[in-house]
Homo-oligomer: A and B are copies of this chain.
């Protein structure tokens, strides 16, 4: 078989009507709200009725710290789901939606790869069912209502220098990062410094992904802090009276989107918060609904396990009252080699020594994940250049850590290539050995929560937080926000805050640059290092090559 690109494979896929996919989960066509013939939202009524069912097993797919070699976390999530179905299990997949903006920059798709993809991949990577557009609209309605409130007399006495609610756009547009608005005279309002973030960085996105239903959604939207007064008292979205209309705009976006894998297995693709300033997981509604409909639910978390899995456990599972039965930690031989010091250009040559050296990163993640009381299975996502000796080196290392590593060839072979992985994952999930708990309790102080993550996950010696940061945390505790979990925003490339420190660094410090309160989402964001919330386009953006070909198909998307 000649090499085919992801989009070629996706195009050739013979999809089943989405009603057939829904039927596998017991969803009647009346309870599916179709978007074309191959996508559908699940009705709120159906979801409410499903609440009484018992939960299936939750399987989290996470990864080592990402390297330029790529780990294939989404691909493994999809492949494992297909593998579980192949071995006769009733399984479904829950992943995040793709952001539109980065597609026009240089990012690859977010629908898996090779023979382990969800389809229709073009739609999933473009407008899909409009969820992100709805989030953009809801966010910017609040922004417009804030400036409108100030314009008409500012009854709430908002300090115009302390409006913290920015605007969003689902586009990589660096020109909008830092702007001055309301120029041009009296009719346009009071000039002030403002800016845009990319839509996935919106607190509305995080809220949509954590809300349990529309009532909870509206309450959380109302809780958003949009500005402060001169006396530093907060002004909420509720005070602006925007929460109702925002909820109306998000009504459909709250419903999970059902699609299918290349092997016609069901997948929810829903929500997609940033994995730095937010928690980086698909929606709670999708995951908890999937648990009612399938015996095994495979889901993923953003970035490496130090960020994504930590937040999945400490934020999403805590808030949603769910617990993983097993964690699948994705690694590749190539990534082990890069962690072991090999340059990307030299990854083609066998280098068992480098693999052994790089495994330290993998080992640290295994240890960390066990700290949540959850068993770990390592999935070696196979790449054509991997040698038997290299694969054996990873397996031996993982055995030494008291876990098991299984080679998986889903990228090449689809579910068939993931059967071994699926069997073992199902066994571990069914064994009942998991005894999940977050690594810090709700009632721990905010600074102590940060220190707990830094010491237990990052293995840092210390957290550096100056007085203003500590005072701010204390102030929030006094204002009743002390029970919130922490959302760490640091580089995804290292356990430390230095992206160049690969492997399993020790003895480092975690400097806290800034803390932000996401009162609606319900977490405190702790920023360690530069965090970009509005990307830019590269010198030659991929949008220059994206176009319809003579057959009306989309070329250049990936």
A interface list, Cβ under 8 A from B:
33-37, 44, 100, 104, 126-127, 130, 133-134, 136-137, 140-141, 143-145, 147-148, 151-153, 167, 169-184, 187-189, 193-194, 214, 218, 241-245, 247-249, 251-252, 536-537, 539, 541, 543-548, 552, 554, 556-557
User: By the criterion CB–CB under 8 Å, are A548 and B127 in contact?
Assistant: no
CA distance A554 to B214 in the complex (A): 12
Q: Which residues from chain B contact A545 at a C-beta distance below 8 Å?
A: 244
CA distance A152 to B174 in the complex (A): 12
User: By the criterion CB–CB under 8 Å, are B145 and A174 in contact?
Assistant: no
User: By the criterion CB–CB under 8 Å, are A178 and B183 in contact?
Assistant: yes
User: By the criterion CB–CB under 8 Å, are A554 and B36 in contact?
Assistant: no
Q: Which residues from chain B contact A180 at a C-beta distance below 8 Å?
A: 179-180, 183
User: By the criterion CB–CB under 8 Å, are B174 and A552 in contact?
Assistant: no
CA distance A169 to B176 in the complex (A): 13
CA distance A289 to B362 in the complex (A): 59
Residue of B nearest to A177 (CB): B188
User: By the criterion CB–CB under 8 Å, are B127 and A543 in contact?
Assistant: no
User: By the criterion CB–CB under 8 Å, are B541 and A247 in contact?
Assistant: no
CA distance A188 to B187 in the complex (A): 28
Q: Which residues from chain B contact A179 at a C-beta distance below 8 Å?
A: 179-183
**Residue in contact with A178 in the complex, picked from B141, B169, B184, B537, CB distance below 8 Å:** B184
Q: Which residues from chain B contact A241 at a C-beta distance below 8 Å?
A: 543-544
5 closest residue pairs by CB, A with B = A244-B547, A178-B184, A133-B133, A144-B173, A245-B543
**Residue in contact with A133 in the complex, picked from B130, B183, B218, B242, CB distance below 8 Å:** B130
**Which of A143, A179, A214 has the most C-beta atoms of chain B within 10 angstroms of its own C-beta?**
A179
Residue of B nearest to A128 (CB): B130
**Residue in contact with A182 in the complex, picked from B104, B140, B175, CB distance below 8 Å:** B175
**Given A178-B184, A248-B554: A537 touches B173 (CB 8 Å cut-off):** no
Q: How far is the CB of A39 from the nearest CB of chain B, in Å?
A: 10
Q: How far is the CB of A36 from the nearest CB of chain B, in Å?
A: 5
**Which of A176, A182, A241, A554 has the most C-beta atoms of chain B within 10 angstroms of its own C-beta?**
A176
User: By the criterion CB–CB under 8 Å, are B33 and A33 in contact?
Assistant: no
Residue of B nearest to A181 (CB): B175
User: By the criterion CB–CB under 8 Å, are A245 and B104 in contact?
Assistant: yes
User: By the criterion CB–CB under 8 Å, are A147 and B170 in contact?
Assistant: no
**How many identical chains are in the complex?**
2
Q: Which residues from chain B contact A556 at a C-beta distance below 8 Å?
A: 244-245
User: By the criterion CB–CB under 8 Å, are A248 and B175 in contact?
Assistant: no
Residue of B nearest to A143 (CB): B173
User: By the criterion CB–CB under 8 Å, are A188 and B175 in contact?
Assistant: yes
Q: How far is the CB of A534 from the nearest CB of chain B, in Å?
A: 9
**Given A241-B544, A548-B251, A554-B248: A151 touches B174 (CB 8 Å cut-off):** yes
CA distance A36 to B31 in the complex (A): 10
Residue of B nearest to A242 (CB): B543
Residue of B nearest to A540 (CB): B152
**Which of A44, A134, A173, A557 has the most C-beta atoms of chain B within 10 angstroms of its own C-beta?**
A173
Q: How far is the CB of A537 from the nearest CB of chain B, in Å?
A: 4
CA distance A194 to B173 in the complex (A): 14
CA distance A543 to B252 in the complex (A): 18
Q: How far is the CB of A535 from the nearest CB of chain B, in Å?
A: 10
CA distance A244 to B552 in the complex (A): 12
Q: How far is the CB of A127 from the nearest CB of chain B, in Å?
A: 6
User: By the criterion CB–CB under 8 Å, are B133 and A147 in contact?
Assistant: no
Q: Which residues from chain B contact A182 at a C-beta distance below 8 Å?
A: 174-175, 178-179
Q: How far is the CB of A555 from the nearest CB of chain B, in Å?
A: 8
Q: Which residues from chain B contact A137 at a C-beta distance below 8 Å?
A: 100, 127, 133, 170-171
User: By the criterion CB–CB under 8 Å, are B541 and A145 in contact?
Assistant: yes
Q: How far is the CB of A105 from the nearest CB of chain B, in Å?
A: 9
CA distance A359 to B239 in the complex (A): 48
User: By the criterion CB–CB under 8 Å, are A184 and B177 in contact?
Assistant: yes
A–B pairs, 28, beta carbons within 8 Å: A35-B35, A104-B144, A127-B134, A133-B136, A140-B169, A141-B171, A141-B543, A143-B175, A144-B172, A145-B544, A148-B541, A151-B175, A153-B539, A167-B176, A175-B181, A175-B188, A179-B180, A179-B183, A180-B180, A187-B536, A214-B552, A244-B546, A244-B547, A244-B548, A247-B547, A248-B547, A248-B557, A251-B548
CA distance A539 to B140 in the complex (A): 18
Q: Which residues from chain B contact A248 at a C-beta distance below 8 Å?
A: 126, 546-548, 554, 557
Q: Which residues from chain B contact A178 at a C-beta distance below 8 Å?
A: 182-184, 188
CA distance A552 to B254 in the complex (A): 13
Residue of B nearest to A38 (CB): B33
Q: Which residues from chain B contact A184 at a C-beta distance below 8 Å?
A: 177-178
Q: Which residues from chain B contact A251 at a C-beta distance below 8 Å?
A: 548, 554
Q: Which residues from chain B contact A127 at a C-beta distance below 8 Å?
A: 130, 133-134, 137, 249, 252
Q: How far is the CB of A67 from the nearest CB of chain B, in Å?
A: 25
CA distance A543 to B138 in the complex (A): 11
Q: Which residues from chain B contact A552 at a C-beta distance below 8 Å?
A: 44, 214
| Given A130-B133, A147-B174, A175-B188, 11 additional A-B pairs, CB 8 A | A34-B34, A34-B35, A133-B137, A140-B173, A145-B544, A148-B541, A177-B184, A177-B188, A179-B183, A218-B548, A242-B544
Residue of B nearest to A34 (CB): B34
**Given A214-B548, A244-B546: A536 touches B148 (CB 8 Å cut-off):** yes
